[in-house]
Amino acid sequence: MRNIKIKDKCKDCALYSDGKLFCAQLSGDELCELSNQSRTLSMKRGDTLENEALAHWPIVAIDSGVLSMQHLLQDGRKTIAALFMRGDIIDLRNISNRNRGALIALGNVDVCRLSPKIFEQIMGHNPDAQKVIWENLRDQAFRAMDHSGDIAKKQALEKLASFIFECRNRQVGFTDGDLVKIPVRRIDLAEYLGMQPETVSRCFKDLEKRGVLEAPSLNALKLLNVPMLRRIANGDKDVLANESRIRVLKIA
């Protein structure tokens, strides 16, 4: 860790301690000034970042946990449009209608609400910090495009396979690439994928029966056949057709 004086609230924050994330790119003066003008917040499952708070603190950086962007229809139905995880920066400045969605915690979440003024100053003078932000916003845009395509065109098993790869690509702390943490509950995953919770459970069991993965717990997977999982995620109908024929032969 760099030998600079920082506030206690920053010492254990992933945004500073992880060299790839935003605050790790800042000079000591920049970090102290941003910290002085920003506010941390610990949330529990179901907590919402209120619109009034977002009006003053519209830039939210996630230290740990998962925030969801949820839309609620008048008849009570809800959908999760996006998931934001460790290291993500959510920039809601200049959005005229924040009622289009609410930022809701899906578990224990730690966030830092960044000062827009100091954030803008840093972005104007620090190319390393600017690069991290642009890469993060680009990744968010690509995930949103991929997710919209999954929801519109893919079948249930294909959607789940794609989500497993999304989690694999975004996770930290696992040195074994075949171990994947599922950071949300099955009921939230169902909302995100546009499925029923029982369908999500059935798809996990289907992937286990195919020998694609093992699920030792509800929030951890061990991938056994990554190429086949990739083919399922990409909508390869031959995989499903071949598996169906094999099952018929075994029954016969």
> Fold match between 8-148 and 155-251?
no
- Is residue 246 predicted with pLDDT exceeding 60? no
- Cα 11 to Cα 35: distance, rounded to the nearest angstrom: 11
CATH number of 8-148: 2.60.120.10
pLDDT at position 173 is 61
- Residue 132 CA to residue 210 CA, distance in Å, equals 39
Task: Find out whether 200 and 186 touch, Cβ atoms under 8 Å.
Answer: yes
Contacts with 106 (C-beta within 8 Å, 6 or more apart), sequence order: 45, 65, 66, 67, 68, 83, 183, 184, 185, 188
Domain residue limits, the chain: 8-148, 155-251
Phi, then psi, of 136 in degrees rounded to 5: -65, -45
Q: Residue 65: which H helix or E strand, with range?
A: none
For helices 156-170 and 226-233, give the axis angle rounded to 10 degrees. Answer: 120
Do 185 and 106 form a contact (C-beta atoms < 8 A)? Answer: yes
Question: What tens digit of pLDDT does each residue of 190-238 get?
Answer: 999 999 999 999 999 999 999 999 988 888 999 999 999 999 999 887 7
Q: How confident is the model at residue 248 (pLDDT cuts 50, 70, 90)?
A: very low
Residue 1, pLDDT > 50, answer: no
Residue-wise pLDDT for 72-103, tens only, equals 777 877 789 999 999 999 998 876 555 567 89
Using one digit for the tens of pLDDT, what is the confidence trace for 125-167? 999 999 999 999 999 999 999 999 999 999 999 999 999 999 9
- Write out the CATH class of domain 155-251: mainly alpha
Percentage of the chain modeled with pLDDT above 90 = 66
